[in-house]
Chain A
Amino acid sequence: MNLLTNVISGLSLGSVYAIIALGYTMVYGISKMLNFAHGDVIMIGGYMSFVMTMYMGLNGWLALLVAMVICTLLGITIERLAYRPLRGTGSLAVLITAIGVSYFLQNVALLIWGANPKMFTSLFKGMKPIHAAGGQLTITMESLFTIAANIVIMILLTLFVNKTKAGKAMRAVSEDNGAAQLMGINVNQSISLTFAIGSGLAAVAGVLMLSAYPVLMPTTGAMPGIKAFTAAVFGGIGSIPGAMIGGLILGIIEIFSRAYISTELSDAIVFACLIIVLLVKPTGLLGKKVSEKV
């Protein structure tokens, strides 16, 4: 039963990683940049939701919606102001800019809300956990809902990318930017849309994560951001199912190594697994191998 409890909390943590990883993987797929500021958008989402419930007295779910809208706008703004001027100038310049944006968001949060950690109120406060197998197995609503949200988001997103016109445009832009433009696709709009979706999902991920691990600080988003990025690479960066698989595997590895090996070494084990996967499959589990042209 202990094993099953761990599997469930692993899947729950993994679902959070998977939702964050979607933002990384979609942005990487479409604009070939490592958006290191993504983790901090999660943090902003968390603070927004916190402010809405604590100071504005909004219902948790309504606050989540507001946080999503704000993060979506934030994502679009960041792309417009910081990344668009650097499009096509090589990955290093964009990477450093993304790091600059990350510092910026962290320090804005630090100025507004201070360094003291805030206790986040769970979205599912007051809901009783489900007991199964004669009380031996406990599933919290947080876990259950996070896993469910992950599945729903994955299905919707896959449908969106594969079936709608906007999704098709996004795929075309990530395949070949220039050719897509020649076909009359609005590249700027597609990229903005990608950032919007990624950032909106980051807010969801932030609230879900903080419901389970309720400590909110300006640096809250940094480590989950890096781990989710790892998850995206693990599954093959640029691939949406890859982000889901990578996130879930990473979450399970982390919870299991915490439970059975060592709490302090759990991060090291997660990263070691990433290195091993990349050695066997250099483009991640579901990544496409791009052959180099001479």
Chain B
Amino acid sequence: MAERILKNISSRGLKNAVRGNEYRKEASISYGILIGGYVLFQILTAAGLIGHNLQGQFVPICVYVSLAVSLNLVVGISGELSLGHAGFMAVGAFSGILMSRILGQSMTFEPAIIIISMLFGALIASVAGFIIGIPILGLRGDYLAIVTLAFGEIIRNFMNVLYFGFDGDGRLRFAFNHTIEGVENNDRIITGAIGATGTKTMATFTWGLLLCLFTVFIVLNLKNSKQGRAIMSIRDNRIAGESIGLDVRKYKLMAFVVSAALAGMAGCLFGLNYSTLVPVKFNFNTSVLILVFVVLGGVGNIWGGIIAAALLTVLPETFRQFADYRMLTYAIVLILVMIGTYNPAIKARINGVWSKINPVKKRSGDKGKGKKRKSRKGAA
């Protein structure tokens, strides 16, 4: 009997069980939102319902969506707080821009330039993620958070003294101060604190969509692989994970590096969207912004992060006329949402009201029961 049960839970069976409904549901919702959003925006644009300003935000929206998904890999799936995601974005952006300029000298086929630049950005960002990840992933909790913050600031500072340019023969040269040997001022690509200038803007909404789809594909598949389950089990209980023989560092590093690579890729597309790009763009506030997307979307929830990132990029743009009160409202809403969703008393009250007004009576009843059971368990 036992043998038969074991046989039934053969590797394939187990894989199907884990991969089954939940994975399919999460994947179809995520891809659905991305493609649906893309089609919706395209239709609205064609109908002339979207202003010029918002159209200019299409690529950044995609980039932030992608960043929210990749940060979710570290914060939600691996359970580590990272405050330096913008650092990896910066690495990807500037290395990607460099690559696009080098390729631009001999190539004219834009899709190839974009793809190679994005891969290069991802590669360099993953190297950065690896270098920073090896030593710090032994740290716990808040200490890891502060080191990622420090790392993001170091990257941004370093960009301020980085100078790249082509010399007379079209060769790439770099320096750590204002004058690069053999480079005319006009031939500079990256000029320290002024940033990257003269970039050919190649990024389009479609590339943004492809970036998002690729990011979601990688993250969801990693989450639902053997490695992903190992990462999540370490998140849930590090000691238990260690005691069944999981290499904690290896799995944490895996999540961190993949997340960094995806951030680099998104950063590259971001860089290719602007003809000039200053390093200040990638400061602590940007890292925090991405983290806010992840938390408001629900930590670990991929499609929640997608919606939060898109909404929080679109809304401030839509309310640009209330410039002065825009960020103030944002701050207040952020605080209220956090209190509303996390405070136990308020959460219970909202659930109560919701079950009263919710037309789908049966489901809400089920939900309430589930919550109750859960809370009783917690109390025990």
User: Measuring CB to CB, which residues of chain A are less than 8 angstroms from any residue of chain B?
Assistant: 28, 34, 82, 85-86, 89-93, 95-97, 99-101, 103-104, 106-108, 110-111, 222, 226, 229-230, 233, 237, 262, 264-265, 267-268, 271-272, 274-275, 278-279, 282-283, 292, 294
Subset of 28 A-B contacts with CB under 8 Å? A34-B142, A34-B146, A85-B339, A85-B343, A85-B346, A86-B338, A89-B343, A89-B344, A91-B81, A96-B338, A97-B334, A97-B335, A97-B339, A99-B288, A100-B335, A106-B327, A226-B153, A264-B161, A264-B192, A265-B157, A268-B154, A271-B150, A271-B153, A271-B154, A274-B147, A275-B135, A279-B136, A282-B143
Which B-chain residue is minimally distant from A287 (CB atoms)?
A: B143
| Known contacts A230-B146, A267-B153, A275 near B331 by CB under 8 Å | no
Most buried by A among B142, B146, B153: B146
Q: Is the CB of B150 within 8 A of A274?
A: yes
Q: Is the CB of B324 within 8 A of A111?
A: yes
Q: How many A-B residue pairs have CB under 8 A?
A: 125
| Known contacts A95-B81, A264-B160, A282-B139, A103 near B150 by CB under 8 Å | no
Which A-chain residue is minimally distant from B299 (CB atoms)?
A: A92
Which B-chain residue is minimally distant from A87 (CB atoms)?
A: B343
| Known contacts A85-B343, A294-B239, A275 near B151 by CB under 8 Å | yes
Q: Is the CB of B330 within 8 A of A103?
A: yes
Which B-chain residue is minimally distant from A273 (CB atoms)?
A: B150
Name the distance in Å between B77's Cβ and chain A's nearest Cβ: 14
8 Å CB contact of B292 from A99, A237, A275: A99
Please indicate the chain B residues that have their CB under 8 angstroms from the CB of A107 in the complex: 327-328, 331
User: Measuring CB to CB, which residues of chain B are less than 8 angstroms from any residue of chain A?
Assistant: 75, 81, 135-136, 138-143, 145-147, 149-151, 153-154, 157-158, 160-161, 192-193, 239, 284, 288, 291-292, 295-296, 299, 324-325, 327-328, 330-332, 334-335, 338-339, 341-346
Q: Is the CB of A104 within 8 A of B328?
A: yes
Which B-chain residue is minimally distant from A232 (CB atoms)?
A: B146
Q: Is the CB of A86 within 8 A of B143?
A: no
- The CA of A263 and the CA of B146, in the complex, are separated in Å by 23
Which B-chain residue is minimally distant from A219 (CB atoms)?
A: B285
Q: Is the CB of A103 within 8 A of B334?
A: yes
Which B-chain residue is minimally distant from A229 (CB atoms)?
A: B146
Please indicate the chain A residues that have their CB under 8 angstroms from the CB of B325 in the complex: 111
Q: A34-B145, A107-B331 are in contact. List 20 more A-B contacts (CB 8 A).
A: A86-B339, A89-B343, A91-B141, A93-B295, A97-B335, A103-B331, A104-B335, A106-B327, A107-B327, A107-B328, A226-B153, A233-B143, A264-B193, A265-B157, A271-B153, A274-B147, A274-B150, A278-B136, A279-B136, A282-B138
- The CA of A282 and the CA of B296, in the complex, are separated in Å by 30
Chain A interface helix/strand/loop/mixed: helix
Name the distance in Å between B340's Cβ and chain A's nearest Cβ: 9
Which A-chain residue is minimally distant from B155 (CB atoms)?
A: A268
Which B-chain residue is minimally distant from A34 (CB atoms)?
A: B142
Please indicate the chain B residues that have their CB under 8 angstroms from the CB of A89 in the complex: 342-344
- The CA of A114 and the CA of B158, in the complex, are separated in Å by 31
8 Å CB contact of B157 from A85, A230, A267, A292: A267
- The CA of A233 and the CA of B332, in the complex, are separated in Å by 29
Q: Is the CB of A104 within 8 A of B332?
A: yes
Name the distance in Å between B240's Cβ and chain A's nearest Cβ: 9
Name the distance in Å between B333's Cβ and chain A's nearest Cβ: 8
Which A-chain residue is minimally distant from B328 (CB atoms)?
A: A107
- The CA of A101 and the CA of B330, in the complex, are separated in Å by 10
Please indicate the chain A residues that have their CB under 8 angstroms from the CB of B346 in the complex: 85
Please indicate the chain B residues that have their CB under 8 angstroms from the CB of A226 in the complex: 149, 153, 284
Please indicate the chain B residues that have their CB under 8 angstroms from the CB of A85 in the complex: 339, 343, 345-346
Most buried by B among A93, A106, A294: A93
Please indicate the chain A residues that have their CB under 8 angstroms from the CB of B154 in the complex: 267-268, 271-272
Which A-chain residue is minimally distant from B329 (CB atoms)?
A: A107
Please indicate the chain B residues that have their CB under 8 angstroms from the CB of A268 in the complex: 153-154, 157-158
Q: Is the CB of A111 within 8 A of B149?
A: no
Which A-chain residue is minimally distant from B292 (CB atoms)?
A: A96
Name the distance in Å between A270's Cβ and chain B's nearest Cβ: 8
- The CA of A233 and the CA of B292, in the complex, are separated in Å by 23
Name the distance in Å between A125's Cβ and chain B's nearest Cβ: 33
Name the distance in Å between A225's Cβ and chain B's nearest Cβ: 10
Name the distance in Å between B115's Cβ and chain A's nearest Cβ: 32
Q: Is the CB of B157 within 8 A of A264?
A: yes
8 Å CB contact of A262 from B75, B135, B147, B161: B161
The 3 closest A-B pairs by CB, nearest first: A271-B150, A100-B334, A103-B331
Please indicate the chain A residues that have their CB under 8 angstroms from the CB of B345 in the complex: 85
Please indicate the chain A residues that have their CB under 8 angstroms from the CB of B330 in the complex: 103
Name the distance in Å between A232's Cβ and chain B's nearest Cβ: 9
Name the distance in Å between B76's Cβ and chain A's nearest Cβ: 10
Name the distance in Å between A88's Cβ and chain B's nearest Cβ: 8
8 Å CB contact of B327 from A82, A101, A103, A229: A103
